[in-house]
Structure 1
Amino acid sequence: MSFAQFIQDAWNRQAKWLIVLRPLSWIYRGGFLLNKKLYQCGVKASYQSPVPVMVIGNITVGGSGKTPLLIQLVNYLQSQNVRVGVISRGYGGKGPFPAYVDLESLPEIVGDEPCLIVQSTGVPMVVGSNRQRSIEYLLSKHELDLIISDDGLQHWALARQIEWIVLDQNRGLGNQKLLPEGYLREPPSRLTTATVIEHASQPNSELNMHLEVAAPYLLNDAEDERSFNPADNFYAVVGIGFPQRFYSTLDSMGIHQFQCHEFPDHYDYEITDLQFEDNNPIITTEKDAVKLLPLLKQNPNFKREIWVVPVEAELSPQCYDVLHQQLQQLGIPIS
């Protein structure tokens, strides 16, 4: 088990030994608040985009459902004739940055989530750590009404007009401690300053979302291709921030026989990671599939079935009502 997986497991269990990390959390809190104050006071300058910016992020480390939400919002905005573009840090990508993301982009260059976003929406997208350069590059190629920043909630160098925070009910706020004692990037009070979307199957808030699961599809052309059978014995191969959500999804689909093979978030797979002693199929997420497909093309003799479970974010009607109000305040026409 890697250290990242070890600490993630400790956070999820709210292990008591995490208290020894409290001094580091104090240092993190002090540095974070000082940096934020410097931007608020104007000592450090924030970039003001000529096009309104909407940030979609979270205050926790690990998966919250942010990417499916972003994909759903982009598809919706496109259907409403809003000219939308996306920027992202491109975490896991090697660059060079800023990099334009299209259907031919490789996850090793631009990151796995940007590839998934563009494949799902066709949205104009640029990635790179310098958000100003990314926006300028994006606007040099497209006329846009709105730019969505994938993550970047704590990136104060970028001014924004709308903030949506995704809060996963399954994980909650853990022990409510900042990094590294807990998995919070910001104090819980941050939730009072933005639009909070609760990710839950039984939500407490009117502003909520859940993930709808579609039929699994086969990623590769395996020998003796057959229909999906939930009774099979699977290898669940995942490299995401909160793999327990995927296991719960499998269980809800009637898939109860699987061995868990977890890797760090944004993991760069090797073909040996997919090799096991028997021929049982693999089952994985769409985010992982983005990384696995190029690997399969490099290894055409690999014939084990790899099944992908697609999910789609379903937002409550109130989410769209709030979105319309926020866009109207910014003068962005919506159909």
Structure 2
Amino acid sequence: MSFAQFIQDAWNKQAKWLIVLRPLSWLYRSGFLLNKKMYQVGIKSSYQAPVPVMVIGNITVGGSGKTPLLIHLVNHLHSLNIRVGVISRGYGGSGPFPAYVNLESEPEVVGDEPCLIVQSTGVPMVVGSNRQHSIESLLSRHCLDLIISDDGLQHLALARQIEWIVLDQNRGLGNQKLLPEGYLREPPSRLKTGTVIEHAAEPTSALNMHLEVALPYLLNAVGSKPFHPEHHFYAVVGIGFPQRFYQTLASIGIHPFQCHEFPDHYEYEIHDLEFEDDYPIITTEKDAVKILPLLKQHSNFKREVWVVPVEAKLSAQCYDVLHHQLQQLGIQIP
């Protein structure tokens, strides 16, 4: 087990030994508050883009459902003929940055999530740690009404007009401690300053979303083949909160399955997919982005790899709030 998996497991279990990391959490908090203060008093300045910016992020480390939400919003904005572009950190990519993402982009260069976003939406997208450079690169190619920042909630160097904070009620806020004692990037009070979208099967807020699961499809398909949930599967997953994927598998009747967890944004090798028997693999769309190139490189790999697609479903109030926020920025909704 890697250290990343070890600490993630401790956070999820709220292990008592995490208290030994409290001095590091105090140090993290001090650094975070100092950086925030420097922006507030003008020692540091934020970049103001020439078009409105919407940030979709979270205050926790690990998966929250942010990427499916972003994909859904981009497709929704496209349906309204709103010209939207996306920027992202490109975590896991090697660059060079800023890098324009298209259908031919490779996950090891631009990151797995950007590849999934562009494949799912066709949206103009640039990735890189310098958000200003990414926005300038995007606007040099496209005339846009709105730019969505994939993550970057804590990136104070970028000014923004809209903030949507995804809160996964399945994980909650854990022990409500900052990194590394807990998995919070910011204090819980941060939720009062943005539009909070509750990710929950049984929500308590009017602003909520859930993930709807579609029928799994075969990644290395030769012709069509029916899916049989009663088969034994190897669940291969490298995301921030793998337990949600396991819950998804159970919800569509997949049992049994053997868990094989890897760190978030893991760079797969073909041996990661090899087992002693011939049971099929089942994985997420995000992991499939990185697994597919391996299957193309190793044409003799015959094990079936199934992918579970999910789509974000939003409450009606989410659209009402979004449209109101856009109209306040001068973006007309038909």
Please tell me the TM-score bracket, short chain as reference: over 0.9
C-alpha displacement of 1:225: 6.9
What is the CA–CA distance in structure 2 between the aligned matches of 1:235 and 1:39, rounded to whole Å? 48
C-alpha displacement of 1:109: 0.3
Aligned to 2:297: 298
The one-letter code of the counterpart of 1:296 is L
Aligned to 1:317: 316
Aligned to 2:93: 93
What is the CA–CA distance in structure 2 between the aligned matches of 1:225 and 1:329, rounded to whole Å? 48
**1:29-178 paired onto structure 2 within 5 Å:** 29-178=29-178
Aligned to 2:236: 237
What is the CA–CA distance in structure 1 between the aligned matches of 2:73 and 2:251, rounded to whole Å? 25
Are the counterparts in 2 of residues 176 and 182 from structure 1 also a CA contact under 8 Å?
A: yes
Aligned to 2:251: 252
Aligned to 1:265: 264
Aligned to 1:283: 282
Secondary structure (helix, strand or coil) at the match of 2:306 reads: strand
What is the CA–CA distance in structure 2 between the aligned matches of 1:147 and 1:226, rounded to whole Å? 40
C-alpha displacement of 1:62: 0.2
C-alpha displacement of 1:226: 3.4
Cα offsets for 1:95-146 (capped at 9, x unmatched)? 0000000000000000000000000000000000000000000000000000
Question: What TM-score do you get using the length of structure 2 for normalisation?
Answer: 0.99
C-alpha displacement of 1:173: 0.2
Are the counterparts in 2 of residues 86 and 148 from structure 1 also a CA contact under 8 Å?
A: yes
Cα offsets for 1:181-216 (capped at 9, x unmatched)? 000000000000000000000000000000000010
Aligned to 2:227: 228
- What CA RMSD, in Å, does the superposition of the two structures yield over aligned residues? 0.8
C-alpha displacement of 1:278: 0.3
C-alpha displacement of 1:42: 1.1
Gapped runs of 5+ residues in structure 1?
Answer: none
Secondary structure (helix, strand or coil) at the match of 2:140 reads: helix
Secondary structure (helix, strand or coil) at the match of 1:134 reads: helix
Cα offsets for 1:148-178 (capped at 9, x unmatched)? 0000000000000000000000000000000
What is the CA–CA distance in structure 2 between the aligned matches of 1:329 and 1:226, rounded to whole Å? 49
The one-letter code of the counterpart of 2:227 is F
Secondary structure (helix, strand or coil) at the match of 1:320 reads: helix
What is the CA–CA distance in structure 2 between the aligned matches of 1:221 and 1:292, rounded to whole Å? 14
Gapped runs of 5+ residues in structure 2?
Answer: none
Aligned to 1:191: 191
What is the CA–CA distance in structure 1 between the aligned matches of 2:131 and 2:139, rounded to whole Å? 12
Are the counterparts in 2 of residues 55 and 149 from structure 1 also a CA contact under 8 Å?
A: yes
What is the CA–CA distance in structure 2 between the aligned matches of 1:52 and 1:137, rounded to whole Å? 16
Secondary structure (helix, strand or coil) at the match of 1:292 reads: helix
C-alpha displacement of 1:40: 1.4
What is the CA–CA distance in structure 1 between the aligned matches of 2:189 and 2:88, rounded to whole Å? 25
What is the CA–CA distance in structure 2 between the aligned matches of 1:252 and 1:12, rounded to whole Å? 21
Are the counterparts in 2 of residues 234 and 258 from structure 1 also a CA contact under 8 Å?
A: yes
C-alpha displacement of 1:221: 3.2
Secondary structure (helix, strand or coil) at the match of 1:182 reads: coil
Are the counterparts in 2 of residues 221 and 303 from structure 1 also a CA contact under 8 Å?
A: no
Q: How many residues align?
A: 334
What is the CA–CA distance in structure 2 between the aligned matches of 1:62 and 1:149, rounded to whole Å? 17
The one-letter code of the counterpart of 2:236 is V
Secondary structure (helix, strand or coil) at the match of 2:163 reads: strand
What is the CA–CA distance in structure 1 between the aligned matches of 2:37 and 2:45, rounded to whole Å? 11
The one-letter code of the counterpart of 2:305 is I
Moved over 2 A (4+): none
Secondary structure (helix, strand or coil) at the match of 1:17 reads: helix
Aligned to 1:18: 18
Q: What percent of counterpart residues are identical?
A: 83
Q: For residues 38 and 251 of structure 1, do their structure 2 counterparts lie closer, same or farther at Cα, with a shift above 3 Å needed? A: same
Secondary structure (helix, strand or coil) at the match of 1:141 reads: coil
